[in-house]
Amino acid sequence: MPSPSHLAVPQGAHPFPHRHLLGIAGLRPWEIAVLLDEAEQWIELNRLTAKHDDRLAGLTQINAFFENSTRTLLSFEIAGKRLGMDVVNMHAAQSSVKKGETLLDTTATLNAMRPDVIVIRHDMSGAVALIADKVDCPVLNAGDGRHEHPTQALLDALTIRRRIGRIEGTVVTICGDVLHSRVARSDILLLTALGAEVRVAAPPTLMPAAVDRLAVAAYTDFDAALEGAEVVMMLRLQLERMEGGFVASPREYHAFYGLTAERLARTAPDALVMHPGPMNRGVEITSDIADDPKRSAIVEQVEMGVAVRMACLDVLTRARRHVEGWGAEGWA
């Protein structure tokens, strides 16, 4: 499903004039649409038995993860391998970071191995941009602190576009730990850029103070935020980023902000349920909803993640591969 014509690349413009993918902030709507459209081609390939394209053969991809991950790390690794790259993973917990090596020394070490692309997850907001400034290849942000998780937003948008048929005008309710969520931030930026009507619902303690600066409607009443929603995106309670006092207890949080079958009845008929994972079952979402294939797109989100990451790796390495029309001249 290609993007509507008003999201077409303007005549003579570079299709994606960025060296790195550090966030959704700063991307124009048609640049987001380029990545979504590029991802479509990989969905069918990924459903075949033989899943190789190999257009990136000979290139080296380093996945440097300073924070735990299942979905993002594995899908970036699979994406790179399906495109033919030599892919290596650096888990900070098993690296010289544990011996006290600084982030800048680790960065210089990775760069000296001449990678063609580096994918980074870090628990510090801004760390990925810092690294991107010091290396000679494109960098993809796989999640930095509370800041951004751009490929998660892209895979969420691709899932919505395929299941609902459009993003513009779609009513999306994002509920949960908005304060600590880089997913919420990237999703809000992307979905509002493409014209969705976004609502956020959270307890006052988990609502960012600067929510008025985002183009969203903020609710502390989850039931009200669900009225007529076409997509309900539940967020994980990020207990690892809390030092107590944000919620009285998981049980009380569930009573007010957990997605149950009763609450889901308030949405538009057949509203789509999403969650970036990993889930706290019985806290932000009940298992009967999470596991209902008619309503839940949670597994499909993971599938779209591989296609989106293949698209991002392909697009960001085009200037290095001298693909016509994708050169570094004209980059932002």
**Which one of 207-215, 242-250, 257-265, 274-282 is the stretch in contact with ligand CP (CB under 6 A)?**
274-282
For ligand CP, the closer of residues 68 and 111 by Cβ is 68
Nearest to 23 by CA among 129, 111, 136, 116: 129
Is residue 176 near ligand CP by the rule CB under 6 A?
A: no
Give exposure, 196-217, as e/b (b: 16+ Cβ within 10 Å). bbbbbbbbeebbbeeeeebebe
**Sign of the C-alpha dihedral computed for residues 87, 277, 188 and 289 taken in this order:** positive
Is residue 89 near ligand CP by the rule CB under 6 A?
A: no
User: Contact, 169 vs 198, CB < 8 A?
Assistant: no
Rounded least distance, CB 276 to ligand CP, Å: 4
For ligand CP, the closer of residues 18 and 71 by Cβ is 71
Q: How far is CA 79 from the centre of its chain?
A: 15
**Which one of 68-76, 111-119, 160-168, 309-317 is the stretch in contact with ligand CP (CB under 6 A)?**
68-76
For ligand CP, the closer of residues 7 and 92 by Cβ is 92
- By CB under 6 A, the count of residues binding ligand CP is 9
- Beta-carbon-side half-sphere exposure of residue 121 (alpha carbons within 13 Å): 23
Is residue 91 near ligand CP by the rule CB under 6 A?
A: no
In the 8-state DSSP scheme, what is residue 72? Answer: H
Amino acid at 257: Y
Is residue 208 near ligand CP by the rule CB under 6 A?
A: no
Rounded least distance, CB 283 to ligand CP, Å: 16
Paired tokens of 230? 């076409």
Residues recorded for the chain: 332
Give exposure, 21-58, as e/b (b: 16+ Cβ within 10 Å). bbbbeebbbbbbbbbbbbbbebbebeeeeeeeeebbee
Nearest 5°: phi and psi at 201?
-125, 130
Is residue 280 near ligand CP by the rule CB under 6 A?
A: no
Rounded least distance, CB 305 to ligand CP, Å: 8
User: Contact, 148 vs 185, CB < 8 A?
Assistant: yes
Nearest to 57 by CA among 80, 85, 87, 77: 85
Is residue 296 near ligand CP by the rule CB under 6 A?
A: no
In order of 147, 200, 237, 252, 258, the CA distances from 249 in angstroms are 26, 21, 11, 5, 12
Is residue 240 near ligand CP by the rule CB under 6 A?
A: no
**Which one of 45-53, 131-139, 201-209, 276-284 is the stretch in contact with ligand CP (CB under 6 A)?**
276-284
For ligand CP, the closer of residues 116 and 148 by Cβ is 148
18, 19, 28, 71: which one binds ligand CP (CB under 6 A): 71
List beta partners, residue 234: 175
Rounded least distance, CB 90 to ligand CP, Å: 15
In the 8-state DSSP scheme, what is residue 97? Answer: G
Name the 3-class secondary structure at 64. Answer: strand
Rounded least distance, CB 68 to ligand CP, Å: 7
**Cβ neighbours, 10 Å, residue 132:** 20
For ligand CP, the closer of residues 70 and 109 by Cβ is 70
**Which one of 6-14, 23-31, 197-205, 275-283 is the stretch in contact with ligand CP (CB under 6 A)?**
275-283
Is residue 72 near ligand CP by the rule CB under 6 A?
A: yes
Rounded least distance, CB 183 to ligand CP, Å: 7
- Lay out the site mask for ligand CP across 125-164 (x = CB under 6 A, - = otherwise): ------------------x--------x------------
Rounded least distance, CB 71 to ligand CP, Å: 4
Which residues form the interface with ligand CP (CB under 6 A)? 69-72, 143, 152, 276-278
